[in-house]
Amino acid sequence: MNSRRSFIQKAGATAIALSTPAISVFSSPISEIFDQDKILRVAIMGLGSYGTRVAEAMQDCKRAKLVGVISGTPSKIAMWQSKYGIPAKNCYNYENFDAIKDNPDIDAVYVITPNALHKGQTIRVAKAGKHVICEKPMAVNASDAAEMVSACDQAGVKLLIGYRMHFEANTLKAVEMREKGEFGDIKFFQGLSGFKIGDPTQWRLNPELSGGGAMMDIGIYSINGARYMVGEEPIWVTAQEVKTDPVKFKDGIDETITFQMGFPSGVVASCLSTYSMNNLDKFFLNGTQGFAEMQPSTGYGPIQGKTHKGPLNEPHVTHQTTQMDQMAAIIFDGVTPKIPVDGREGLKDMVIIDAIFEAVKTGEKVLLG
């Protein structure tokens, strides 16, 4: 037990050591620092369903533009070239994309490939001198995530994680209310994340590509949501796994995990991650003076919710459009988002996921930090 706790504590210490305080106070007038006309020129790596969603959303961006692609499928590259007007010189495959170091027309690469590929691809992009936007989960474990953060630091490039909810208007409204004390002392958080997964041959159900099952894919929303809704970092986890279909959900692929997180103030989060149930996607935050409830809480939108003061009814904008415009502001303007989206934020989630898997394996409470 001591060695297990030591491992988790070392992982947590790595996350803390790699964390640096964000600075949002500027010594010069905003107009002198921000280049509002500078466009983030992005190449998307991985032209699957989510890559397509991001590409479509980027057509409405004001600060970000799709200018390149990286794919192992020539037919997809040709289709995207035609649809989005991408020049041949900005098209790469997985073997030759290191050559982007010599392409001044690409500022950043958005890595949207299976989880297990993120580490190697992120490091290669960083070595090529380009900023990295990496889809979540950023890696398959905390150790790999820490290597990604270090590689980007050493290369002097930004590493941002695709936490689209960190820019979503109703989510930010709920966080603002909590920060203002409108819910009183926070006591409890519930996060329900899951859906019935289909095609059993997809990469998400291949442990060598996904690094896990529902927890990696959808449970991470409840982990991350608990942290920004409560406004604290957890100090312990417990977890229990249920598997009803060991054929579809083979070794290394979790089907359903219920897990709990404890926070320094005494807040407890009770969460569910599953590939076997629909009608979930719910966050509930309860305090001594009020509450916030969101369902759907992390879907592509619109997000729906209410508090003890009434509905959450901020205008809906396509999440990925807002995300990419805001990431341009982070990279070019030094903007600090209300909820972090950098690699260190992603690393914190990976430390927690490692601890949850350890708690499932041992049946014991695992300490963080």
Q: What is the pLDDT of residues 79-117, one digit of tens each?
A: 999 999 999 999 999 999 999 999 999 999 999 999 999
| Yes or no: domain 165-313+342-367 corresponds to CATH 3.40.190.10 | no
Residue 332: partners with Cβ closer than 8 Å, 6 or more residues away: 34, 35, 38, 40, 63
> What does pTM read for this prediction?
0.92
One-character DSSP codes across 28-52: S-HHHH--TT--EEEEEE--SHHHH
pLDDT at 10: 53
Question: How far are the Cα atoms of 109, 231, 328 from residue 228, in angstroms, in the given order?
Answer: 26, 5, 22
Distance CA 306, CA 285 (A): 11
Q: pLDDT tens across 127-172, in order?
A: 999 999 999 999 999 999 999 999 999 999 999 999 999 999 999 9
The residues of the chain that CATH labels 3.40.50.720 are: 2-164
What CATH architecture does domain 2-164 belong to?
A: 3-Layer(aba) Sandwich (3.40)
pLDDT in tens, 167-204: 999 999 999 999 999 999 999 999 999 999 999 999 99
Residue 115: what pLDDT? 98
Start-end of CATH 3.30.360.10 domains in the chain: 165-313+342-367
Among residues of the chain, what percentage have pLDDT more than 70?
90
pLDDT of amino acid 312: 98
Torsion of CA 282, 258, 115, 57, to 10 degrees: 0
Judge whether residue 2 has pLDDT over 90.
Answer: no
CA distances from 128 to 107, 122, 342, 350 (A): 11, 10, 19, 25
Contact 124, 100 (CB under 8 A): no
Active site residues: 136, 221
> Are 124 and 98 in contact, with CB atoms under 8 Å apart?
yes
Cα distances (Å, whole numbers) of residue 208 to 58, 67, 112, 204, 367: 31, 31, 16, 9, 27
Percent of the chain with pLDDT over 90: 90
* Residue for token pair 């993120």: 118
Averaged pLDDT score across all residues of the chain: 93
